[in-house]
Structure 1
Amino acid sequence: MSFWKTLFGGKAASAEPAGDKVLGEESYKGFVIKAIEMKAGSELQLAGTIEKEIGGEHKTYRFVRADRMTSRDDLIALALSKGRQIIDEQGERIFN
């Protein structure tokens, strides 16, 4: 994994880390985007995963952003929106 990808919150993995609480999910252009709970003190930090089956292998990309909020509904909407943006910009390259 590249230094820059790690620095800016991207992380490729073969499976979703155990213990992630999925708050919401949607299908988008053949991918599954999940908003996950990441607590930062009394707030929630924007985090999610993007998943897709490629060549018979389940791939997961985890993203974490600096945005924090107190509303669970706002977090879900923003995480799903950020996931769509990542897919539109990078497509399957996120798994490389």
Structure 2
Amino acid sequence: MSFWKKIFGGGDEDSSESAAASGPHEEYKGFTIRASLLPAGSEYQLSGSIEKEVGGTVKRHDFVRADRFSSKDEARSFTLAKGRQIIDEQGEAVFSQSWPAKPN
């Protein structure tokens, strides 16, 4: 990548960074949890998604929390743990929530 593209953006991402940005995934109780990197200054914010095929359609729930970590590995590890917690607490109901909640 050229010097100017590195400074001003554009062009293809570095393939190693692109692979890292997609993050690891984990199968848990029939769900797929994916960790993603969300840079927040010099730290990384907890960010990921939960997916599952329901009725022939892949459903997805994205989540972001305020927790921040100094390393990518720590952010990924805690994101996968948070995904497991969400699945344990909500199961498939996580896909039926609509935000913001509608007033009665």
Common fold: TM-score over 0.5: yes
Q: Which runs of 5+ in 1 are unaligned?
A: 1-20
Q: CA RMSD in A?
A: 0.7
Q: In the TM superposition, what is the alpha-carbon distance from 1:41 to its structure 2 partner?
A: 1.2
The CA deviation at 1:73 is: 1.0
Is it true that 1:32 corresponds to 2:32 in the alignment?
yes
Q: How many residues are paired up?
A: 76
- Check the 8 A contact 2:37/2:76 in 1, yes or no: no
Summarize the alignment of residues 53-92 of structure 1 with structure 2, pairs less than 5 Å apart: 53-92=53-92
| Greater relative CO (CA pairs within 8 A, separation 6+) | 1
User: Taking structure 1 as the reference length, what is the TM-score of the superposition?
Assistant: 0.77
Q: Aligned AA for 1:26?
A: E
Which consecutive residues of structure 2, in runs of 5 or more, have no partner in the other structure? 1-20, 97-104
Identity of counterpart residues, as a percentage? 55
Aligned partner letter, 2:77: A
Q: Give the number of the structure whose residues are more often strand, by fraction.
A: 1
Q: Greater helix share, 1 or 2? A: 2
Distance in 2 separating the partners of 1:54 and 1:76? 26
